[in-house]
Amino acid sequence: MTYPEIAWIVVGAVAGAALIWLGILAATRATRLDRLNVRVDLAYESLVAGLERRAVVARAIAATDPDSTGMRDLADAATAAEAASREDREAAENRLSVALAAVASDDRPKALVAELADAQTRVTMGRRFYNDAVRDARALGGRRMVRWLRLGGHSRLPEYFEITERVSGAV
């Protein structure tokens, strides 16, 4: 074998090794992105469960005095929050937070105050877990290799969920 033939064999071996390394790296990133998207979906479901529980408790509080204007607004806000689509959920939940704050703490039944505090804690934790998952998925989805090789397909990056958790006067 001559020197140029050996050089081409070495170049071919190095290029082949680089392609294999790139393929393994791409597969690893795609798997990680898939796991992060599953984590985002599960965290969103947990967040929705907490939000629905908060709406149920808000509706129970509103049912204690259905003739009051503030309580009717609270019941309407809770119903709207539960019926809201994913895109409109943040605004509906913010309206529910404001309606909860508008009902004075003295007007809330003592039995439901602890239930509301627990539901509020679950919403706070669910939102944090969801936003942490979104942050991680966006960080990986925004990497150059993931974008160039379209490892995430044509799906959009997940969006953060930002709501007012406690308005002054809330629990």
Domain extent at residue 37: 3-148
Is 154 among the domain residues?
A: no
pTM: 0.82
Is 153 among the domain residues?
A: no
Query: Are 129 and 49 contacting, i.e. CB atoms less than 8 angstroms apart?
Result: no
Is 118 among the domain residues?
A: yes
Query: Which H or E element spans position 17?
Result: helix 3-63
Closest residue by Cα to residue 108 from 152, 169, 163: 169
Per-residue tens of pLDDT for the chain, all 171 residues? 788 888 999 999 999 999 999 999 999 999 999 999 999 999 999 999 999 999 999 999 988 888 888 889 999 999 999 999 999 999 999 999 999 888 867 767 778 888 998 999 999 999 999 999 999 999 999 889 888 888 888 788 899 999 987 655 444
CATH of the domain at 131: 1.20.1440.20
Query: Are 152 and 33 contacting, i.e. CB atoms less than 8 angstroms apart?
Result: yes
Is 170 among the domain residues?
A: no
Q: How many structural domains compose the chain?
A: 1
Is 43 among the domain residues?
A: yes
